[in-house]
Structure 1
Amino acid sequence: MRDTCSRELTSLARSDPRIVILSGDIGNRMFDGFKEEFPDRFYNCGVAEANMISVAAGLALSGYRPFVYTFAVFDLTRCYEQIRIDLCFQNLPVVIIGLGGGLTYAPLGPTHYLCEDISILRCLPGMTIVCPADKAEVMAALQSSLIHPGPMYIRINKKNEPCIHTGKLDFSLGRAHLIQDGNDVCIITTGVLLSEVIRAADILEEHNISARIVHLHTIKPVDELMLQEIFSRFSIVVSVEEHTLPGGLGGMIAEWMADNRIKSSDLVRIGTGDYFLTCCFTQEKARDHFGISAKSIANKIVDELKHE
């Protein structure tokens, strides 16, 4: 995802002179190609992330399309006031690219991994939140951001993510993707955890459980038509996310259910625990620990269906 992001921004910048990149002192080598072609359109803002957001706001007010890039934990938690006032209050078209949202950087501990980013941003008026599952959706999200009128957060993983989509991708902000159909249970997920959910569905198939998979690449605004269709059809709906349960994908769906008085279906939420990891795990081991690996997801669904 990281390299795809760099290549796509460089490609888009060739035909759009408004594109500028601001980095929080990381990813500079990754953007060597961009800097070589557009040396006056790359700004290394150093470890001053709050200032970087304000600089991006100023560039947006001057007619540019700024892309802010650094670790998600740094360009969100250190900059909340600037994102809220400089970007959202003024509804400026600045794209925040959060590298390593979720458990990508679990090996570096709680100072570097971030499982609260969606909940941090969901409550901000005007903020659009996109969680691509693979490089095809990263490219599509970046392309869509250039015609989006307000602030946007794009959560990306680091590298080696499985390619889910092949061929031409039909991508629109706020519209979900149906990955596979099924009859017994519907699994809704977002971001790079989609690959684990697909493997979980294969395990469920061995138990004669047919799982529908829906990918909400856009958390805000959400595809309400898709949710209406899902909850009119399935008695059990499962949300799966590489994010803490409070305020994330499952929390958003639960709020939607309450607002729409959905009583015919049960929602099962699967995500990371409401606590910090105190050990430095790999992303895979962290997923096992929190019960969001393919096997754990499948086992949880099997148990739920047994008690239906």
Structure 2
Amino acid sequence: MIAQREIWGRTLVSLGETDPRVAVVDGDLATSTKADLFADAHPDRFFQIGIAEQNMVGVAFGLTTMGYRPWLSSFGVFLSQRALDPVRMLVSQTGAPVKIAASYSGLLNGSSGKTHQDIEDLAIMRAMPNMTVIAPADHIEAEAAIRWAAEYDGPVYLRLARDAVTPVFDSMPKFVPGTVHVLREGDDAVLVSTGVQSSRVMDAAEILSARGIESRVVHVPCLKPLDEAGLLTALSGDGAIFTVEEHTIIGGLGGLVAETVTSSALGKPVTRLGLADAWSESAPNDFLLDKYGLSPAKVAVAVAGGLNTSESRTK
């Protein structure tokens, strides 16, 4: 297993060897985000701005006017929230090819606490016109997404987790934005997830299978754009729909799936699992995942309970 931040650093080093447009603008977190790998390999295209995230965005925008394809490197919370206005004005509104590498996103930096945990970023960035929003499941998909984003002529928000997870893909030669992946088949429930949470949902599906509940697992790596027809096909059938995200249930994946379903003829209810309009806190990662119902065991309990409730209502 390889952490997504590690594969990001390695991949940018590789891209920088053949593409002189690749640059990194860092916010004094290079050793954490692994931007230091790029700094060592390509020091002439590494710009250390310090703890000045708003200025980072301005510098990155300026670099695009000189032909560069810069990557912003910091913790996700600082890029999606502290630097929100410059991202909105300089990147989203202009469509500049700035790539936002939002490391340490979600809950998987538990000891940092709620000030550093970003559980609203997908909702914020999904609402941005021109912004492509990607949350890869593992390091394999992350590398493919990074290589695609480096060539894409527009802004990209890439959600990267701090810690490694069990990969859900064996290989991915090419990232196709909007594509929906069915990782596992099952008829009793449809579990929809994004980012590294998809790995934990796969484990939850195994727990449910041992209890006689077979779940289809649908991974949505690209929250914007989205292949809506592909998602609706993946959601079709008899199984109840549950979205599971390491994010607030407001405006993120759950909102996206609910919007897609209600604007179609599918006519199925959507149960959203995630942080229910509450701030996270400082604690070990496993404790937080368990507390907020995102560990495989807790997801399995929620799905099984939801299925029992649905069945009792139809009798």
Answer yes or no: same fold by TM over 0.5.
yes
Q: CA deviation at 1:51?
A: 0.8
Task: Give the match's secondary structure for 2:283.
Answer: coil
Q: CA deviation at 1:40?
A: 1.0
Contact kept, 8 Å, 2:133 with 2:157, in 1: the verdict is yes
Task: Give the match's secondary structure for 1:241.
Answer: strand
Q: CA deviation at 1:203?
A: 0.8
Task: Give the match's secondary structure for 2:250.
Answer: coil
Of the three residues 151, 154, 176, the one matched with 2:155 is 151
Q: Which residue of 2 aligns with 1:76?
A: 80
Whether 1:2 and 2:5 are equivalent positions in the alignment is yes
Task: Give the match's secondary structure for 1:212.
Answer: strand
RMSD (CA atoms): 1.5
Whether 1:24 and 2:27 are equivalent positions in the alignment is yes
What CA distance in whole angstroms lies between the structure 2 residues aligned with 1:191 and 1:153? 13
Q: CA deviation at 1:196?
A: 1.1
Q: Which residue of 1 aligns with 2:278?
A: 275
Cα deviation 1:48-81 (Å, max 9, x = unaligned)? 1011011111111221100001001111111111
Of the three residues 144, 166, 171, the one matched with 1:167 is 171
Contact kept, 8 Å, 2:140 with 2:171, in 1: the verdict is no
2:16 counterpart letter in structure 1: A
Q: Which residue of 1 aligns with 2:97?
A: 93
2:82 counterpart letter in structure 1: R
Of the three residues 294, 297, 303, the one matched with 2:296 is 294
Q: Which residue of 2 aligns with 1:59?
A: 63
Q: Which residue of 1 aligns with 2:123?
A: 119
1:4 counterpart letter in structure 2: I
Cα deviation 1:73-127 (Å, max 9, x = unaligned)? 1111111111111001110111101111110223111111110000111111011
Contact kept, 8 Å, 2:27 with 2:50, in 1: the verdict is yes
Q: Which residue of 1 aligns with 2:232?
A: 228
Moved more, 220-229 or 107-116: 220-229
Task: Give the match's secondary structure for 2:242.
Answer: strand
Contact kept, 8 Å, 1:235 with 1:266, in 2: the verdict is no
Q: CA deviation at 1:144?
A: 0.5
Question: How many residue pairs get matched?
Answer: 306
What CA distance in whole angstroms lies between the structure 2 residues aligned with 1:257 and 1:44? 44
Whether 1:252 and 2:260 are equivalent positions in the alignment is no
Task: Give the match's secondary structure for 1:96.
Answer: strand
Distance 1:304 1:220, change over 3 A: same
1:13 counterpart letter in structure 2: G
Of the three residues 301, 304, 307, the one matched with 2:306 is 304
| Unaligned ranges ≥5, structure 1 | none
What TM-score does the superposition give when structure 2 sets the normalisation length?
0.93
| Unaligned ranges ≥5, structure 2 | 311-315
Q: CA deviation at 1:170?
A: 4.9
What CA distance in whole angstroms lies between the structure 1 residues aligned with 2:202 and 2:98? 33
Cα deviation 1:154-177 (Å, max 9, x = unaligned)? 111113322222134453111012
What CA distance in whole angstroms lies between the structure 2 residues aligned with 1:35 and 1:117? 27
Task: Give the match's secondary structure for 2:29.
Answer: coil
Q: CA deviation at 1:36?
A: 3.1
Identity %: 34
Q: Which residue of 2 aligns with 1:107?
A: 111
Task: Give the match's secondary structure for 2:153.
Answer: coil
Q: CA deviation at 1:223?
A: 2.2
